[in-house]
Amino acid sequence: MNIDAIRNGIVIDHIKAGDGMRIYNFLNLGALDCSVALIKNASSTKAGKKDIIKVDRVPDIDLNALGFIDPNITINIIRDSVRVEKYHPELPMKMTNILICKNPRCITTTEQELPHVFVLTDREKHEYRCVYCESRAPAL
């Protein structure tokens, strides 16, 4: 399979096989007008299979939020066709307007312009809670 090399953008590698579309949707990549490739079930020496996403632009989003979905993925930043940075996203301490609180009793359900803020409360369990009502974050 031939996919154009990226000049300036990102490659999200080592995505757990089957999770690629979740990350594609989470980053709202469908709305971009640049080249975007989602490769499913690529062969992986470590995991057997993996998904990969290539985007020919650096999206304007905190990519560390991807750590909430899968902390094992690798983010590669490409500039002028050269990889300039490679890292695993860390679990962000705080996520604003990335998750929506599902608790019907939470103040966010009635204060329309209030940002939805979740903070990391248990790093081992990857647990986030709403700063207002302390409800556990919904899965993405």
Return the residue of 2, 43, 81, 110 that touches other proteins, per CB under 8 A.
110
**Three-state SS at 61:** coil
Q: Does 114 bind other proteins (CB under 8 A)?
A: yes
∠ CA 120-124-128, nearest 5°, is 25
Site for other proteins in 76-105 (CB under 8 A): 103, 105
**What minimum distance in Å lies between the beta carbon of 136 and other proteins?**
9
Return the residue of 86, 111, 123, 138 that touches other proteins, per CB under 8 A.
111
Return the residue of 108, 118, 120, 128 that touches other proteins, per CB under 8 A.
108
Q: Does 107 bind other proteins (CB under 8 A)?
A: yes
**Which residues make beta-bridge pairs with 36?**
55
Q: Does 130 bind other proteins (CB under 8 A)?
A: yes
**What minimum distance in Å lies between the beta carbon of 117 and other proteins?**
10
Instruction: Give residue 36's region: left, alpha or beta (phi > 0; psi -120 to 50).
Output: beta
Return the residue of 106, 118, 128, 137 that touches other proteins, per CB under 8 A.
106
Fill in the DSSP letter of residue 48. E
Q: Please, are residues 135 and 107 in contact by the beta-carbon 8 Å criterion? A: no
Q: Please, are residues 53 and 90 in contact by the beta-carbon 8 Å criterion? A: no
**What minimum distance in Å lies between the beta carbon of 88 and other proteins?**
27
In sequence order, the 6+-apart residues with CB closer than 8 A to the CB of 85 are 75, 76, 77
The contact set with other proteins (CB under 8 A) reads 103, 105-114, 130-135
